[in-house]
Structures are given as structure tokens and as C-alpha cells.
Amino acid sequence: MKTFWDLAIAIDAKSPYTRGHTEGVFRYAIRLAEALNMTEEDKKSLQLASLLHNVGMVSVPDTLLNKPGPLSVEEKKIIKAHPGLAELLVKESGQLSAVLFHSGARSLAT
């Protein structure tokens, strides 16, 4: 899990707007898992999903993440495409099925 933590922190560090985001999501996931009395396996899956939910942001240029002012319609499309890339990045790993579920649920919500 440390490798995924390091990756998530590196992605968050790309922009002052995203810095600390994944850590907050991770902490929330831990509290949620405890409140729901999840099994240890489900807790780990949720924690892993929380770390990797934004991994697709590696495809978003730093200039776009740090752009002052409003984003254009095209720029918003680029940012909104990051969950799809996250799904592609983790697709081959059976261990990451929770991340794929999260990505699919998010796609259905938009």
C-alpha cells in the first residue's frame, strides 16, 4: 500500500488545488469503513480505492491544473476524463477491483 500512497501524494503535489486531497479522502475512507463495520478485506479495498481514485490526474497537464481563472469547456473535458484513464491504469490488477467499481459508479453518476 505504501507504493500507492507515494503515488497518490505525488499526484496531489502537482497542484496547490489538489494538495492534501487524497490524504483527506483516505482518512474519510478509514472512518467510513469503521462506522460500517467493514471486514478487513473490504477496508483495505476501500483504502486502496481512496488512494487511487485520482490516479488518472497524471494525464492532466500541470499548466491546466494550475491555470488561474475559469477553465474552458475543452479544458473541463480533459479534467473530467481522468477517471477513465485511472480505470485503464488499474484494469489488469485483480487486487484493484474496488477502484474499478468506484470509477464505474462515478461514470454512472455523471
Domains of the chain: 2-109 (1.10.3210.10)
Given a contact cutoff of 8 angstroms between Cβ atoms, the answer to whether 8 and 51 are in contact is: yes
Q: Is the pLDDT of residue 28 over 80?
A: yes
Tell me the three cell numbers of residue 89: 491504469
Mean pLDDT lowest for which of 24-28, 73-77, 100-104? 100-104
Which helix (H) or strand (E) segment holds residue 40: the answer is helix 40-52
Given a contact cutoff of 8 angstroms between Cβ atoms, the answer to whether 52 and 99 are in contact is: yes
Given a contact cutoff of 8 angstroms between Cβ atoms, the answer to whether 10 and 2 are in contact is: no
Q: Is the pLDDT of residue 26 over 50?
A: yes
Global confidence as pTM: 0.68
Give the C-alpha separation, 51 to 14, whole Å: 15
Q: Is the pLDDT of residue 106 over 70?
A: no
